[in-house]
Structure 1
Amino acid sequence: MARILLIEDDKALREGIVMTLEGPDMEILQAETIQQGREALSKELLDLILLDVNLPDGDGFEFFGELRQISDVPVIFLTAKDMELDIVRGLEMGGDDYITKPFSLMVLRARARTVLRRRSAAGQGKSSVFHSDDLKLDFDSIVFKKGQADVTLSRTEQKLLKLFLVNQGQILSRETLLDKVWGTAEFVDDHVLPVTIKRLRDKLGTKRIKSVYGIGYVWETKKEEA
């Protein structure tokens, strides 16, 4: 199921979008402000964001720039800014689509599905072999190397590592990691996650796994400084 975050302060429009898009294959999470959007991003793994540009607590374009520092999740701008300059700006910043208000809800649904199909097709073509610094991590053959040396990882460590690598650059909350790797966040000891992450860091000799205070962890994609 695709998880879509809708950041829109117009309640009537938001409700209309939810009624049109939500179904067996799409779940819609709602936010009225940029801050609520940030909170949702810190807790959820998303497939698409529908982003209004004029929001009560800030500018959607600026938030998009902030978002791109931590995630490559597709974004469709929804906005009353219909000047050519604004449309060009949104697309050149890296937006996946730009829809001006007023718009047809059915057209929005079709364009959202198009973006989701494109993302799915790109994902299907990805290999399960990852390279990072001197690491070669092959999840198909279950062969993990640091330089020429073999690295032995437990199944739990493999699941956690692959989750980080598939979502490189995206902050993953503690709850998301526990749910995806251990199946629950409710009955797992508080120390399990940090201890497993420490083992991964030690075995791989990498500084890529960064702690994000109060939220969770991220696999840093920026080149490390010498």
Structure 2
Amino acid sequence: MSDNHASVLLVEDDEVIRRALAMALERYGYTISTAADGLTGLELFRSRPPGLLLLDVMLPLLDGIGLCRRIREFSQVPILMMSARGDALDVVSGLEAGADDYIVKPVDTAILVARMRSLLRRASFTPTPQPSALIFGDLSIDPQALEVRRADDLIALTPTELRLLLEFAAQPGIVLDRQALLRDVWDYGWDGDSRVVDLCVQRLRKKIGPDRIETVRGFGYKLKR
């Protein structure tokens, strides 16, 4: 699915913001469905899974953090979270819950669309073919099948987590700094927050093993051979 025809579920309780965002995104060619609370958003997601989820943190009935966690129990669809400007706790909580990225309010439509396109590119990412699976201890990465296994157990990764792991696997033992990762994985370096990288690495460690990705203080991260 091309990004300008992607379906987007927008979950936002403020009617003015919800209507304005829906109209703006429709002008960019997106198909928009909306919900005003987290539980309705969850029901809509289950009945008509979108290509991307755009949700506010502060929602009635089920907040954005809770909705994100619930969806990550059964889906790896890209999630872009909206947070009040300067509210670092919301940002961190959202990323730890499984969101792929976040944007602060008030939302600049051009930046929002750029972030959405980046997420959708990651979701449809096709890596350069590799001759065989990449093996790192008990971790096996198949770049063609886009599958990751640990001790033969299949690991469910979000598109962002998968692309981040593939970036590390392409340069094992090499330290990759946060800005390079923002550029190559998140597709932006002009408005990036390194917390996105740090928290995605934390989520990845929980899934592939805590010691596989090493922190090099003051520089970045590297995948152990």
Q: TM-score when scaled to structure 1?
A: 0.52
In the alignment, which residue of structure 2 is the partner of 1:74? 78
Provide the C-alpha distance between the structure 2 equivalents of 1:121 and 1:75, rounded to a whole number of angstroms.
16
Partner AA of 1:118 in structure 2: R
Choose which of 55, 63, 68 in structure 1 pairs with 2:59: 55
Q: Is the 8 A contact 1:20 1:109 kept in 2?
A: no
Alpha-carbon spacing, 1:74–1:130, altered in 2? closer, same or farther (3 Å): closer
Choose which of 116, 120, 124 in structure 1 pairs with 2:120: 116
The structure number with the bigger radius of gyration is 1
Alpha-carbon spacing, 1:65–1:20, altered in 2? closer, same or farther (3 Å): same
Provide the C-alpha distance between the structure 2 equivalents of 1:5 and 1:86, rounded to a whole number of angstroms.
20
1:160-175 equivalence runs, <5 A: none
Q: Does the alignment pair 1:103 with 2:107?
A: yes
Taking only the aligned residue pairs, the percentage that are identical comes to: 37
Post-superposition shift, 1:39? 1.6
Provide the C-alpha distance between the structure 2 equivalents of 1:96 and 1:131, rounded to a whole number of angstroms.
19
Provide the C-alpha distance between the structure 2 equivalents of 1:129 and 1:113, rounded to a whole number of angstroms.
21
Post-superposition shift, 1:128? 6.6
Stretches of structure 2 lacking an aligned partner (at least 5 in a row):
130-142, 150-155, 158-225
Choose which of 26, 37, 41 in structure 2 pairs with 1:22: 26
Q: Does the alignment pair 1:42 with 2:37?
A: no
SS of the residue 2:18 aligns to: helix
Provide the C-alpha distance between the structure 2 equivalents of 1:122 and 1:44, rounded to a whole number of angstroms.
25
Report the count of equivalent residues. 135
Partner AA of 2:40 in structure 1: Q
Alignment RMSD: 3.1
Q: Is the 8 A contact 1:51 1:78 kept in 2?
A: yes
Q: Does the alignment pair 1:91 with 2:95?
A: yes
Alpha-carbon spacing, 1:130–1:58, altered in 2? closer, same or farther (3 Å): closer
Provide the C-alpha distance between the structure 1 equivalents of 2:107 and 2:38, rounded to a whole number of angstroms.
22
